[in-house]
A and B are shown apart, each in its own frame.
Chain A
Amino acid sequence: MKTQISKTCLRGLLPVLLLIFAAGPAYSAEGGVVQIYKHATAPFDNEKQVDAALSLPIKFVQVTESYQGGRFWTETRKDKIQRFKCSQCHNNKPVSVAQAAEIAHGQIALDHGSEARPLSCYSCHNKAERDFLETEQGMKVDMDHTYQLCGQCHFRQKKDWVGGAHGKRISYWAGQRVVKNCTSCHDPHSPRFKKRWPAIYSPPLSKGK
């Protein structure tokens, strides 16, 4: 009789105990850091206590897109192009330079686009105004804002770049958001990363590894 009562008592207690343990701080994939960051919704004051990337000795321009509602900047391109402005030579006047073929950009090997439909110079460059680029719709694009041009085909990459999953920030994780330009990493004429030797060799850790 006594055992019967205790058994029923135990049976009644079981779900209660289960509930208590389930509510406890059990470590699972749902808990832990995922819950911590999902509950963090207050905006972080990015400019406190840290140096600003804008103070770096590099030139930046503000991007016309908005990043999660805020402004962000990108590295300039024009100051990295040798012999910019292009219109110094590409104008209507005859070019009177010795070895013009040598100093011109004959070394550029265009390897952009699929084999079936490769791009040509004027796919991107503005034919009339050589200091600018041109989209398919005929919009003039500044050389510092190449993402506007690249993004017309590589729209997924552009979306990721604006959000932060493609490309990278320059030097600082905090402070004003300054990111690399498309052309900081990709050669626009041959954008695929090249095969090359690794920078360093990893010695084996232990046998077989």
Chain B
Amino acid sequence: MDPRKNKICQKPAEKNCRQSRADGRREFLKAAARVAAFGGAAMLSGCGGGMLGSKEELSLRWKEYFKKNYRLMTQAEKDETVRRLERLAKLNNNVNVQMSSAPPIDGVLYGYAFSVTRCKGYMECVAACVKENNLDRKSNMQYIRIFEMEHGQMSPEVGNAKFYHPVPVEDHFYMGVQCNHCQNPPCVKACPVKATWQEPDGIVVVDYDWCIGCRYCIAACPYYGRRFNWNEAVVPKEEMTKKQHYLGNRLRHRGKTEKCTFCIQRTRAGRLPACAEACPTGARVFGNLLDPDSEIRFVLKNKKVFRWKEDLGTDPKFWYFID
């Protein structure tokens, strides 16, 4: 039982609260806890495809169900949950996943620059992102949207993101929109359960197991950077990216919010995000903002840059630049 609740109840009991009433409440809470535990167990077994899974699977699920928020875990606990999730992926889908809980690298703050002059709308980045991040194929989820805009248009809100014709089209330019990884992120403030936060390296992440699916963050984001899983992620086994990160591209469940993580599983290992690596025109520049010799710093210093909706004060780490 929660000792705090007992204390609150006991104190007035000494003075004017009738002892039997306090007992009644205590009994009720005990019974409620029992029901909740039973319900939890029933729910867990329900997750296993209607039947009880193996004993090992059930015990893993039980431990997963009662784990902490990722930010409160020690490194040992992170390693444990990662190992459990790897084992569960093996038991459920028969895939050998290598999951990581790599911490941020010291002295790194990630930044991104996108050249609106150079992007030709080939959409290679979107295809690479879907593949790398194990995005749900059933609902055609995509983190990146490329807007085709007429010359002179200023906001992607008037652009066309549904184009499907040979590109580039004359007198048009292309503007890619994805999570801006704001330094002052409104989505983080909106989350009622602290399931989303900004990591020290600037990446705004979601703890998928802590998310309750309220979608307040989606409503709060002015960049349309977040997506919601209306169903369990459907990813063909042979197309699945096996190198995963706890905060990154592991498979998402139904009712969880997700977003671009700058490919956290790649960037924390020194690699470029999948979109930047796939770009055939070099419109995407990624790097460490704290490194004065990085490409991103060169762009910010020498190019005409702007940020989308800068006036909102969200302080994005996603710049657009013009040649």
Contact = CB atoms under 8 A, between A and B. Distances in A.
Interface centre among A37, A40, A163, A169 (most CB of B within 10 A): A37
A72 to B, nearest CB: 10
Nearest to A47: B270
A193 B126 contact: no
B105 A37 contact: no
Given A33-B317, A165-B321, A205 B183 contact: no
Chain B interface helix/strand/loop/mixed: loop
B167 A195 contact: yes
A27 interface: yes
A117 B190 CA distance: 59
A45 to B, nearest CB: 8
Nearest to B277: A171
Interface string A175-206: 10000100001000000010111111111110
A163 B286 CA distance: 13
B289 A40 contact: yes
Given A44-B290, A203-B140, A168 B284 contact: yes
Contacts of B168: 193, 195
Interface string A100-138: 000000000000000000000000000000000000000
A198 B282 contact: no
Interface string B95-132: 00000000001011101000100001111101100100
B9 interface: no
B313 A28 contact: yes
Given A197-B166, A198-B167, A200-B123, A166 B277 contact: no
- Interface size of B as a range: 35 or more
Contacts of A196: 122, 166-167
Contacts of A171: 271-272, 277
B295 interface: yes
B74 interface: no
B166 A37 contact: no
Interface residues of A, number: 50
B189 to A, nearest CB: 12
B237 to A, nearest CB: 21
Nearest to B282: A168
Contacts of A167: 282
A68 interface: yes
A165 B299 contact: yes
B270 A32 contact: no
A202 B224 CA distance: 14
Contacts of A151: none
B315 A27 contact: yes
A43 to B, nearest CB: 6
A5 B254 CA distance: 65
A107 to B, nearest CB: 22
B5 interface: no
Contact of B184 (A27, A42, A46, A209): A27
B268 to A, nearest CB: 9
Closest 10 A-B residue pairs measured CB to CB? A50-B270, A164-B295, A44-B291, A198-B123, A174-B270, A32-B315, A40-B290, A37-B289, A163-B298, A168-B282
9 contacts: A36-B183, A45-B107, A160-B323, A164-B299, A174-B288, A193-B280, A195-B168, A199-B124, A202-B146
Interface of B: 105, 107-109, 111, 115, 120-124, 126-127, 130, 140, 142, 145-146, 161-168, 183-184, 202, 224, 267, 269-272, 276-277, 279-282, 284-300, 302-303, 310, 313, 315-317, 321, 323
